[in-house]
Structure 1
Amino acid sequence: MRKNTIDIITLGCSKNLVDSEHLMRQLEQNGYKVEHDSEFPHGEMAVINTCGFIGDAKEESVNTILEFCKAKEEGKLKKLYVMGCLSERYLKDLEAEIPLVDKFYGKFNWKELLNDLGKAYNADLPLNRVITTPHHYAYLKIAEGCNRRCAYCAIPLITGAHQSRPMEDILKEVKELVAQGVKEFQVIEQELTYYGMDLYGTQKIADLIEMMSEIPGVEWIRLHYAYPAHFPIDLLRVMREHDNVCKYLDIALQHVSNHILDRMHRHVSKQETLDLIKRIREEVPGICIRTTLMVGFPGETDQDFEELKEFARLERFDRMGAFAYSEEEGTYAAIHYKDDVPFEVKQKRLDEIMRIQEGISAELNEAKIGRIFKTIIDRREGEYYVGRTQFDSPEVDQEVLIKANGRQLRKGHFYNVKITDSEDYDLFGDVQ
């Protein structure tokens, strides 16, 4: 147990990771040594930043808290604190059920932790954070909350209404991160196409990304979590005209059946979805579209699911994830719908649609053999260097494996790589 050392454990999404990075900077400024995501406690204190999005994430958060409670009972930890989405939503319940935790904080009041440690929050460091990712890329959170109110989603119950950060703050942070060596920015928020509506009265995501692209040193900008309804079409022009804006869009479509889209409160129809995908591909040739689909939503019939499978087959998304519906208390779906699709049926549908995507991914990857892609190197693993193209986001997408063969490739540097072989979800290549 190291004195004055605090372990920060981050669970859930990259938005949580940004919060942890801000907390880590504040703790370091107050004289603590901070370690992130260690497998077991190293310090005398630990802070767990929890996720509360869906059932599996909540279970992981609770299990992690209990593991650290056990470490505290065994004398391996003096103080344990919990923050984040799970404790934002279930604070009173958690306090009653897990008394070994010294204090629970929500998602937005973690600054109180510094006061409880007898330290002060340094307001001169609002944009500064400890980057826990490889030095060449960082996540850039541009807003909190969500106004969409999809029937199944608990995020608005946890984070509240959409709150955009001012553009000048975001651009200042980008410049500071570039000065630290960051070249690649993963732009994140719960629903980035809504960005600016609350501050400026209109969608400003295209303006923001264009201004970011003009900052010297910004090599790649990648966009995560767009929404299909009221999509800001001018964003496509920005992606097309600026080489450092990756031809990549993460847009969660969830479903395509009008019956289910209506029940989900997605405010978009099947035809509008098809028209949008067509326009995105026409205006940004070669774009990589990543999406997420949901199976087993209340009321989903066999016909609805067949429609979803046909949609996946025809659209041939470059990247696709899927998950089974999980009832979240307090949501419209939990209150007004019966969770009437049996677990076994949900799992069967999930397996089916992912098998479809596996085949599509294998075919799309095989078609890349012989082509040359600009690739950034993230790390070395054994005899391979591991990199990504502009079409691959870290942690969630495929990678390019490059055999070292005695060569020294520099992490965080770009190389032209010719694809020599492929698997369902990975590529192999040689530096040219």
Structure 2
Amino acid sequence: MNFFLISLGCPKNLTDSEDFCANLISHGHKMVFDLNLADAVIINTCAFLASSIKEAKDNIKAALKLKAEGKIKKIIVTGCMVDRLKTAVKEEFPEIDLILSISEQTRMDKLIKKEGEFIKKIQTSLSLSPYKMTLTLPHSAYLKVADGCNNRCAYCAIPYIRGNYRSKSMEDVLEEAKIMAEDGVKEFSLIAQDTTSYGQDLYGKPQLEKLIKKLVKIKKLERIRIMYAYPHRVSRELAEIMAGEEKLYPYIDIPLQHISDKMLKAMRRHAGAAQTKEVLAMLRETVPGIAIRTNFIVGFPGETEADFEELKSFVADFKFDNIGIFEFFREPGTPAYDMKPQISAKIKKERAETLAFAQSRVIDEINKKLIGSTVEVISDGETSGRTYKDAPDIDGTAEFTAPVEAGRIFRGEVVGAEGYRRIIKPLF
């Protein structure tokens, strides 16, 4: 079977796609990058927001149109939307040939129609595919260390979709990293719903620091970036490793969601404002030049103008390197769905725009200080890449004043900056 992949949503979803594509290829199927050559389209869906579900359904409708025109034979749909909506997907789109839950992805090849039969039983596993592949740039990859989540934040449906937190064994993570490093991957972004809980379920306590100490010993692995760290679990030991280990970028993605104690409690977050600020101060004090990325939700039920002003002032004062801003969305089945009072769409939009403007002022200030400085950069192509402050796909970009070989990590002078775009003069 020749298959064409459409992978939607976050990097964690993309790593699922990488795993099941590798599995399919190892069983004789061929991945193609031209729809005209495909027998089947596989759509790995996201369901994190209403817009994510709409995007998934739009892609399904487009694939069904191709099937009706005789351009493809089979449509396979999997991912978070399947697990979240269950039988509703099949009821809405009965023409789909195969609908697979996330747990069924691990042996997708066994579920593809053979001699008129589908094999129904499947085993859930986080073990390695027969071999590892990446769907990112050749030199940069996501390394997923766990799936699921135990945090149970009031607004989030992920635990209901992906289940409880499940770590990969340290041996499997290290083996996967070695395989990718041997294949030319230089930059790894560690991901999970909560990377700082890594190992809690397997070893009785979090083991992220121990894992990193082992990862940095892999010779061909050059840089590691930590994504999705939860503030109440960020340790001083982790910060000290970051400060002293060249292979660990001075970068952390640490979702905060808010800073008002009232809002954090309503969101069922595990750290209040004081602890959050202590962790951020510790990171800045311990790790020279650290880049801190975060996310915030505006318009959560009960958010007053005073709560929002506290958040806006916090963003202006702390000066994050990168932030994501989300308007609260009512996720069916989550505790926040029925919380009152709900905030109007108009106010949520206004607050998101106001916070984005506050952050733009911060970036202007950061950029002024960056110009003339020397930073570490990774090349994603001859003319562009990212500084150490920028994670792939979600943060800023760098443009080079001279060509640089893709995948090269080098020092460069910041000679210009506008918004999240930096102009870099290579120094070599």
State the TM-score bracket (shorter-chain normalisation).
over 0.9
Alignment partner of 1:13 is 2:33: no
* Residues 1:274 and 2:306 are matched in the alignment: no
Any unmatched runs of 5+ in structure 2? none
In structure 1, what residue type is equivalent to 2:32? E
Partner secondary structure for residue 46 of structure 1:
strand
- Superposition map of 1:103-118 within 5 A: 103-117=98-112
Q: Secondary structure at the match of 1:229?
A: helix
Cα 1:41/1:110, change in 2 over 3 Å: farther
2:380 matched residue in structure 1: 378
Deviations 1:219-269 (A, max 9, x none): 110000011123333111111110110000000000011111110000211
Query: Which runs of structure 2 are paired with 1:152-231 in the superposition (5 Å)?
Result: 152-231=155-234
Counterpart amino acid of 1:147?
Answer: N
- Aligned partner of 1:65: which letter? I
- Measured in 2, the distance between the counterparts of 1:29 and 1:286 equals 43
Aligned residue number for residue 389 of structure 1 = 387
Answering whether residue 43 of structure 2 is matched by residue 48 of structure 1, we say: yes
Q: Are 1:431 and 2:426 an aligned pair?
A: yes
Corresponding residue of 1:61: 56
AA in 2 matched with 1:412: G
Equivalent AA in structure 2 for residue 26 of structure 1: N
**Equivalent pair of 2:24/2:108 in contact (CA under 8 Å):** no
Letter in structure 2 aligned against 1:353? L
Identity %: 36
Mapped partners of 2:48, 2:131: distance in 1: 27
Question: Which residue identity does 1:97 align to in structure 2?
Answer: E
- Which one of the candidate residues 366, 369, 391 is aligned to 2:368? 366
Q: Residues 252-331 of structure 1 correspond to what in structure 2 (within 5 A)?
A: 252-331=255-334
Alpha carbons of structure 1 residues 41 and 339: separation in structure 2 relative to 1, 3 Å: farther
For residues 175 and 108 of structure 2, the distance between their equivalents in structure 1, rounded to whole angstroms, comes to 26
Cα distance in 1 for partners of 2:128, 2:265 equals: 44
Q: Which one is further off, 316-325 or 125-134? A: 125-134
In the alignment, residue 199 of structure 1 is paired with which amino acid?
A: L
Q: Superposition RMSD on alpha carbons, in Å?
A: 1.9
Question: What amino acid is the match of 1:342?
Answer: S
8 Å contact kept, 1:89–1:158: yes
Aligned partner of 1:23 among 20, 25, 41 = 20
Q: CA deviation at 1:326?
A: 0.2
Describe the superposition over 1:196-237 as per-residue Cα deviations: whole angstroms up to 9, x where unpaired. 111111111111111111211111100000111233331111
Matched-pair contact (CA < 8 Å) for 1:229–1:266 = no
Letter of the 1:176 partner, please give it: I
Contact 1:87–1:106 under 8 Å retained in 2? yes
* One-letter identity of the residue aligned with 1:212: L
CA contact (8 A) 1:359 1:424 kept: no
**CA distance in 2: counterparts of 1:201 and 1:275, whole angstroms:** 26
For residues 17 and 239 of structure 1, the distance between their equivalents in structure 2, rounded to whole angstroms, comes to 26
Could you say which residue in structure 1 is the equivalent of 2:65? 70
Confirm whether residue 356 of structure 1 aligns to residue 354 of structure 2.
no
- 3-state SS of the aligned residue for 2:310? helix
Q: Retained in 2: the 8 A contact 1:146–1:162? A: yes
TM-score of the two chains, using structure 2 as the length reference? 0.94
- In structure 2, what residue type is equivalent to 1:398? G
| Separation in structure 1 between the aligned mates of residue 245 and residue 213 of structure 2, nearest angstrom | 8
Residue type of the partner of 2:367?
N
Structure 1 length normalisation: TM-score? 0.93
1:203/1:232 contact within 8 Å kept: no
Q: Aligned AA for 1:277?
A: L
- Paired with 1:194 and 1:25, the residues of 2 have a C-alpha distance of 27
Gaps of 5+ in 1: none
Contact 1:220-1:390 within 8 A present in 2 as well? no
Contact 1:87 1:104 in 2 (8 A): yes
Q: Secondary structure at the match of 2:231?
A: coil
Residue 110 of structure 1 aligns to a residue in which SS? Answer: helix
2:367 aligned counterpart, secondary structure: helix
SS of corresponding position for 1:310: helix
CA contact (8 A) 1:289 1:317 kept: yes
8 Å CA contact retained: 2:261, 2:272: yes
